[in-house]
Amino acid sequence: MIGLRTAFLSLLVIAIYSADLVRADGPKYESREIGEAIEHLRKNGAHVNFYSGQIFMLMNQATKPRPVTYNISIHSMKPTPENLSALLVIPRVDRLTLSTGFERDQAVWETLIQMSELESLTITGDLQQYDLENLAHFTNLRNLTIRSSNIKVADLWYLEELTELKHLWLLVPGDCQPYFDYLARLPNLDNLSLYLQGKQPVSLDGIEKLSQLQTLTVDTQESEESNVQAIGKLKELKSLSILRAKFKAEELELFRELDQVSYLQLHSCNLKGMPVEVFGEMEALERVQFSNNEFSDEILKALGQLPQLRYLYIRNSPITDEGLKYLYKAPSLQTVQLSTTEITAEGVAALQKARPTTHVIAPIKQ
- 33-67: pLDDT as tens digits: 999 999 999 999 999 998 765 544 444 555 566 78
CB 275, CB 252: distance < 8 Å: yes
Instruction: Report mean pLDDT in 10-residue bins for the chain, 366 residues.
Output: 44 41 56 94 94 53 72 95 96 94 94 94 94 92 94 90 96 85 95 86 91 96 83 97 92 95 96 94 97 96 97 96 97 96 95 96 75
262-366 carries CATH number 3.90.470.10: no
CB 227, CB 205: distance < 8 Å: yes
- Count Cβ atoms below 10 Å from residue 154 Cβ, excluding itself: 10
Q: How far, in Å, are 25, 149, 221, 244 from residue 218 at the CA level?
A: 36, 16, 9, 9
Q: What is the pLDDT of residues 134-191, one digit of tens each?
A: 998 998 999 999 999 899 898 899 999 999 999 999 998 767 889 999 999 999 999 9
The count of residues in the chain is 366
